Structure 1
Amino acid sequence: MQKQKLTWGEALKVYSRPKVLGMFFFGISAGLPYLLIFSTLTAWLRDYGVSRTTIGFSAWIGITFSIKFIWAPIIDTLGLPFLTRWMGKRRSWILVSQLGIAFGLFAMSRINPQLALPTVFALGVLVAFCSASQDVVIDAYRIEAVDKEFQGAMAAMYVFGYRVALLIAGAGALYIAEYASWSTAYLSMALLMGVGIITTLLVSEPDHYKAKAEGEVFQHEWVDRVLGSGTHGKVSEWFVRAVACPFIEFFQRNGRYAIVLLIFVGIYRVSDIAMGIMANPFYLDLGFSKDEIAQIGKLFGFVCTMLGAFLGGSMVVRFGILRPLILGAAMVAATNLLFAHLATLGPDKTWLAIAISADNISAGISNSVFIAFLSSLVNQSYTATQYALFSSLMTLPGKFISGFSGMVVDAQGYEEFFILVAILGIPAVLLACYIWWRGRDQEALERAQKQQVAPG
């Protein structure tokens, strides 16, 4: 027999819950600053005549997102003076992060990159740090705010809000820059951070003090192992519990296979990220206007990304995680060859639409499947810190490699660059195949168990 399923009406009703709706606006707050220090920033710099080599180095601003696991345990366990007592630990950290983002974007809107490029980069790092911190806290809030059965709806609304924000910060900022100025564009984005700030003030603080017996026992055991039995200093005990235990637990649970998993997490998106930093400069150098980039690259790309995400989620339900994981890695690498072909054609709108469609559908599939994969690696006792580790690691190699993308383009040209980026995706495909081969029996067993009648 199959488990009794909810009707479509009952399933969709969950999206009317206040906390689920709130995740849509938190998604906007999280997604808004990302492109403003990534592809939109590169378009701004290129429009002001900054060299492609220098633009390539701007990708290193994004490394901040890749090392957020370093300070995630602090955010996850410590409160802020005064604010935490008033708002609670999660909401106070979210608010401070949002205010830092808004200030950084406002300050960037007041600067001419031709006159103060180092200041632009410094403010970009500030925005990236505050944005990465906000990501850590919102992940913790999402997990603690509702029961496990509503986590899928919370994640879906968050991703939807995030994608809308990417559209605003991408196409929206380009439109404003085209018809007003880059200063007005960044000032508008700073003001839009008010959406997230208002949401933070309206939502309630989650109950994040629920006892997790297994985690407490595990932490106590390792505090005694590392520090010895007896009385321990508060700082040293906190370090073992909040910083060491999440990593110890992951390696103890997975053994030597943990190294394989971490390598795979690090290389899965290398091809996607390395290509992304040069996308807007490529379109501009090819002869497309900012208006055309916004229409085809952003608006049309948004629809294709959401379609890909839907397909990816459906594939996970139908086939499990591992086989779609291989498909996503292969598609992301292969679509770079379409951009290599476009580089030989010039400003051809039809081929631009084809390349962007394939690229965004592939990205949507791979991202939704990869998020499901990362979630399967997390222990619920250390969700925030472990997820911060995985989400940081998944961008670090790609961000580092993309810093040299401008040098490759200047030396070899765009066609060779995109071919090289496609080749960079091959190791992820091969390792995905190995992970599928190793885990296929376990995944089949889990799918079979889900089809059985729930006990009792």
Structure 2
Amino acid sequence: MTSSPAAPVPPGGRWARWLAALRVYREPASLRMLALGFAAGLPLLLVLGTLSFRLREAGVDRATIGHLSWVGLAYGFKWVWAPLVDRVPLPALTAMLGRRRSWLLLSQAAIAAGLVGMALLDPRDGLQPLVLCALLVAFASATQDIALDAFRIESAPGDRQAALAACYQTGYRLAMIWSGAGVLWLAASQEVQSLANGLSERCQALISQAGAVAADVAQGAAQAAAAGASQAAQAASTQAAPSANASVGQALAGSYQNGPWEFAYLIMAVSMAVGMLTVLLMREPAPSVHADADNAAAYQGALTRLARDGAPWLGVAAFAWWVLLVGLTIAAAARLFSWDTLTPAALSAQGAGWLVPWLLSAVGLGLTVLGWRRQGPMLVPAAGSATQGLLAWMLTAFVAPFAEFITRYRWQAVLLLALVGTYRISDVVMGVMANPFYVDMCFSKAQVANVTKVYGVVMTLAGAFIGGVLSMRFGVMRVMVAGAVLSALTNLAFSWLAGFAPDITHAAPALWRLIVVVSADNLASGIASAAFVAYLSSLTNVRYSATQYALFSSMMLLAPKAIAGFSGEFVDAHGYAHFFSATALLGVPVVLLVLLAARQRSTTPENKQEYE
């Protein structure tokens, strides 16, 4: 076994090996990834977490906030356009910067433009324009992730990927401090204090009033039940939660100020300059030169095969169906956000039917890969024709990356994709309601910023650092097992905190309770994330790094985000405590999948050293 020249393993014993593992964080590739991780992490909270805090403060109900989390599905379908990012050059930009850097710069500029639009819009005037700007930010951010993931994979060998993942997570979490706590600090600094100071008092007063209303309704229901009127009792009990939710919403909307949020989001748009300057100053990764040669060779090989054997009609037809479904996906997303107002009633009327084209597009891509591999009637294009060139590009850019993964792992591909699609489900589903939960618990902006957005991110950084070092020392799969268990267990801490919600008898929970919950949750999240990113990197073929990694990271969010869209309705029906307990239970199947994947991985000869 040979050691990397950049960080040789010294023979000085246990402590020397630990120091060698830590030295990787000083390498230039790790420092670059720290800055690029900042650019990647900045948009996420601004279209999901921080935005949900802003909307709840503006009085938007929890069900609508939950549905709007579907904006994050742009990250779950980035594999649709990943082959374009992987293969298609951008006019002028690619010639000047290279393939990875040109796509990074373009996506970062689009993110900045979308953030400016979000800054200038007031959610009280209608949600549609704000959501459309959020979609632009999410789409551009997902595109940036595609190019950045490929850049990271091509910038260092496999034994450095865990350390790069930890640096990426560190930059990512630093950006989350700025886009989480920084936004709250900036907004608070611009508030009219006569309104801001009264927010907590009004919130607690109206929660107490709502609790009194709920108690009266419950008492009436009990009296009706005692009288034998079961239907009246059931109807009365269902009125308590909406009444309480409406009262809190009125309290928050009455104190909402949009000007501070406008100032804060404009500063966030300017902050994207960090990523843009890093892209302009760094070099295109050297492996991309070999990738270009490989791509050219693959394209010429595809031309030769098409001239000799032609293309199966089934594969071409399946690809055409997939392209049609991608168009329907875009139309479904546009229809979802085409209403003048976004309300729970309107969203419930739409149901989950708009998700069908997205799911069918995944099926269509699978049939394309399988159809291209089957024997049958052939379409033989004329040599040198535009049809031959189009089919060759389609074969190398879209079909080959997915076919290579299926060929490499065969039946194990199903297990791997299932694990990738569910590993972070507990955290993702719970995270949608985290900020509305803090607002409804009457924690102030300063408390939320300092504890969850600063201290919490520091704990996540510590977890990512620990996860990166442990992955290099003990192997990725062992750390993934521990991360899956910890992520599920720590969600139960939020259920404990929900038991101290403000009501008639007491005010907001003591701050130390929030600190304890955030410490446990974020430390577990950091450990799990560092190991998981390294695991995803190990599944890719460098030749198709952008497309394959985009598929994996997209599947990581697809099912969790689809489920999370209904989290607001669940909270309204059952309360926060039951919601957080349910998200913990979602992690149980994940632990079983990780154990099964670890067992399969340990039987592969090239991976046995990870378990020895």
Query: What amino acid sits opposite 2:570 in the alignment?
Result: V
Alpha-carbon spacing, 1:88–1:105, altered in 2? closer, same or farther (3 Å): same
Map Cα deviations across residues 346-384 of structure 1 (whole Å, 9 max, x no partner): 323222111111111110111111112212211222111
Native 8 Å contact 2:52 2:65 kept in 1: yes
The corresponding residue for 1:125 is 135
Query: What amino acid sits opposite 1:206 in the alignment?
Result: P
The corresponding residue for 2:542 is 380
Native 8 Å contact 1:329 1:428 kept in 2: yes
Give the secondary structure class of the aligned counterpart of 2:285.
coil
The corresponding residue for 2:176 is 166
1:395 is matched with which residue: 557, 560, 563?
A: 557
Native 8 Å contact 1:106 1:187 kept in 2: yes
For the pair 1:5 / 2:9, whether they are aligned, the reply is: yes
The corresponding residue for 2:272 is 193
TM-score, normalising length: structure 2: 0.69
What does 1:126-275 align with in structure 2 at a 5 Å threshold? 126-145=136-155, 151=161, 153-180=163-190, 181-207=260-286, 208-210=288-290, 220=301, 224=306, 227=311, 231=383, 233-275=388-430
Give the secondary structure class of the aligned counterpart of 2:290.
coil
Give the secondary structure class of the aligned counterpart of 2:102.
helix
Counterpart CA distance in 1 for 2:302 and 2:130 is 47
Alpha-carbon spacing, 1:212–1:200, altered in 2? closer, same or farther (3 Å): closer
Native 8 Å contact 2:298 2:396 kept in 1: no
Higher mean alpha-carbon deviation, 115-124 vs 210-219, is at: 210-219
Native 8 Å contact 1:19 1:203 kept in 2: no
Map Cα deviations across residues 259-285 of structure 1 (whole Å, 9 max, x no partner): 111111111111110000100110110
Deviation at 1:49, TM superposition (A): 0.7
Identical amino acids, percent of aligned pairs: 43
Query: What amino acid sits opposite 1:182 in the alignment?
Result: W
Higher mean alpha-carbon deviation, 217-226 vs 234-243, is at: 217-226
For the pair 1:282 / 2:362, whether they are aligned, the reply is: no
Alpha-carbon spacing, 1:427–1:148, altered in 2? closer, same or farther (3 Å): closer
Alpha-carbon spacing, 1:217–1:257, altered in 2? closer, same or farther (3 Å): farther
Counterpart CA distance in 2 for 1:296 and 1:287 is 14
Native 8 Å contact 1:322 1:440 kept in 2: no
Deviation at 1:141, TM superposition (A): 2.3
Alpha-carbon spacing, 1:269–1:147, altered in 2? closer, same or farther (3 Å): closer
The corresponding residue for 1:64 is 74
2:575 is matched with which residue: 382, 398, 413?
A: 413
TM-score, normalising length: structure 1: 0.91
1:112 is matched with which residue: 115, 122, 134?
A: 122
Deviation at 1:29, TM superposition (A): 1.1
> What RMSD in Å do the two structures reach over aligned CA positions?
2.7
Native 8 Å contact 1:332 1:362 kept in 2: yes
Alpha-carbon spacing, 1:154–1:364, altered in 2? closer, same or farther (3 Å): closer
The corresponding residue for 2:512 is 350
Alpha-carbon spacing, 1:103–1:53, altered in 2? closer, same or farther (3 Å): same
The corresponding residue for 1:454 is none
For the pair 1:340 / 2:495, whether they are aligned, the reply is: yes
Higher mean alpha-carbon deviation, 19-28 vs 62-71, is at: 19-28
Counterpart CA distance in 2 for 1:146 and 1:372 is 12
5+ residue gaps, structure 2, are 11-15, 191-259, 312-377, 502-508
What does 1:8-23 align with in structure 2 at a 5 Å threshold? 20-23=30-33
Counterpart CA distance in 2 for 1:374 and 1:123 is 30
Counterpart CA distance in 2 for 1:14 and 1:440 is 26
Give the secondary structure class of the aligned counterpart of 2:289.
coil
Map Cα deviations across residues 182-237 of structure 1 (whole Å, 9 max, x no partner): 11110110011111112222222334131589888877379556626883622211
Deviation at 1:438, TM superposition (A): 2.7
Counterpart CA distance in 1 for 2:557 and 2:549 is 13
Largest Rg, 1 or 2? 2
Counterpart CA distance in 1 for 2:20 and 2:498 is 49
